[in-house]
Each structure stands twice: as C-alpha cells, then as structure tokens.
Amino acid sequence: MISGVKSMRRTTQGVPGVRRPSLADLVPRMMPRLVDYWVTVYRRTWRGSVTTFLMPFLYLTAMGVGLGSFVDDNAGPRALDGLTYLAFIAPGLLATTAMQTAIGESTYPVMGAFKWHRVYFSMAATPLRVADIVGAQLAFVAFRILLTCTVFLGVLAAYGAVGSVGGGIAALLVVVLLGVAHAAPMIAITARMKSEAGFALVFRLGLIPMFLFSGAFFPITQLPDVIAWLARLTPIWHGVELSRMFTVGSVDGWAALGHLTYLVVVLVAGWYFAVTGFTRRLAQ
C-alpha cells in the first residue's frame, strides 16, 4: 500500500512534513520586499495610534507628579537610592510602554494576518520565506515601539526626568530591544493559538503581572523573596533596570552586560519559536 512512499521527512512536534528549520531557514534575506506592504499598514493604522501619545502625559502627571510628591515627602529618596520618584519611574514607564506596544502589536494584528485577512498566506505563496515574513513583522513592531517611545522620551525629558541626551538615546535603544524581545515570543505564541480568546489569559496572567512587578514603580526588593526572584526572570525587569541605568546616568558595566545578554537570549529564542510557529501555521 505504501509502495509509492520514497521518503519520510524529518518532522517537528508531530506535524507531519514540517521540517525543523536549518540555520539558513532562520535568517531573513528578502525583508526589503515587504517594506511596501508595511507602509500600507502604517498608513492605515497610524491614526489609531495617535492616542497612545497621550499616555505619557497621563502616567507622568498621575504617578510621577501626583504619587511622586507623596513618595518624595516621605521615605522615597532613601529607598530609591536618592532618586526622585519621577526620575525612578520615568525609565520604568518607558520600558513598560515598549512592552505594552510590543504585546499589543503581536497579538490581534498577528492573529488577523493568519485568520482574518490572511495576508501571511498570500506572502507565503511568493518567494518570500518564513524568516522574511517574521522578520518584517518584527521590524514593523520595532518601528512602532521606536515611534511611541521617542515621543514618550521627549515628554520625559520635558519633565526633566532624563539625565543626558546620550543616556536618553541609549535608553531608547534598550527599550526597542526589550520590545522585540517581547514581541518575538508573543508572535510565536499567537502563531500557535487557534483563536483570539486566549489573549485575555495572556494579558491577565502575563502582561499585567509583568507590568506591575517589573520594578518600574517600586524596587522589586520590596516584594517577598519568591516573587522578587520570579520578577528577575522576566525580560521586562532587565529592560527596566537597564533603561534606568541610562536615564539616571549611573551605568554598571557588568550588570548592564548581563541584562543585555538576557534580552538578546530571549529575543533569539523567541525568533526561533516564531519561525517554527509560523512555519507550522502557514503549512496548513
């Protein structure tokens, strides 16, 4: 009965025929071909993202100024290494904004591109490879984060919460890296999700706890040890610490290297799983 079968192919995780990616499969080569498409996406959606520029004003006024004056008048400066509360949370807000933008752009829009308008499928029918499709999607998320965070940083600077121009630029680069380090694993998860119903869980069990326990609003040393150690495992904590070093202007070289390495590792792992996830989904 199976006389015609000449070869059984290597498979990954029980999906017949889907090969494990080789190193070459993981490297994008034709991303520039996707620029025109993503420009159309930007033209269609930029209006909707204008309101995100309001967020820094809201956060900084409520927390930096409102909550901040309360903290600073009390035990704040001692617990915060002599920083004002505003200076303490500014880089945290920058980093969490990058994370939220990254997750937002990697959930519904990615699901839509698989399920509703199916644009990934029409890309996959062309010479483009999975790594190109994933790469362009991530590059677009990075662009969105860069845009949002640049505005945010401008507002922070206006509030006097950024130490130096160089520090600000370094922090911006850090949060873009932090953002894609969240976006890559998130699109990997989205690619594996049948329906968008699971996003509520992602937000409740992932995004919101990470937001609250990121070290953006208080030092995580204030938390019970177990939770503090869990918090240190999340990429957002590393991003917050790193961007704070730069906006405050006191960089500890080795610690910074450790944080950077962690983020790069998460990004690379996320990339791998994004490529495998897209490969499986697009093969259907």
Min separation Cβ 161 and other proteins, Å: 39
CB 135 within 8 A of CB 31: yes
- Between CA 273 and CA 200 the distance in angstroms is 21
| Residues 26-55 contacting other proteins, CB under 8 A | 30, 33-37, 40, 44
Structure tokens belonging to residue 198 = 């699971």
Residue 19 sits in the site that holds other proteins (CB under 8 A)? yes
Min separation Cβ 34 and other proteins, Å: 7
Min separation Cβ 201 and other proteins, Å: 24
Min separation Cβ 195 and other proteins, Å: 17
CB 172 within 8 A of CB 150: yes
Nearer to other proteins by C-beta: 30 or 79? Answer: 30
Structure tokens belonging to residue 155 = 């507002």
Q: What is the size of the binding site for other proteins (CB under 8 A)?
A: 36
- Of residues 213, 210, 240, the one with CA closest to residue 228: 213
Structure tokens belonging to residue 28 = 């994008």
Q: How many CB atoms lie within 10 A of CB 239?
A: 34
| Residues 106-165 contacting other proteins, CB under 8 A | 117-119, 121-129
Which of 13, 51, 195, 284 touches other proteins by CB under 8 A?
Answer: 284
CA-based radius of gyration for the chain: 21
Residue 78 sits in the site that holds other proteins (CB under 8 A)? no
Residue 13 sits in the site that holds other proteins (CB under 8 A)? no
Q: Report the DSSP beta bridge partners of residue 15.
A: 12
Structure tokens belonging to residue 214 = 């990121």
Min separation Cβ 183 and other proteins, Å: 22
Binding site for other proteins (CB under 8 A): 1-9, 16-19, 30, 33-37, 40, 44, 117-119, 121-129, 282-284
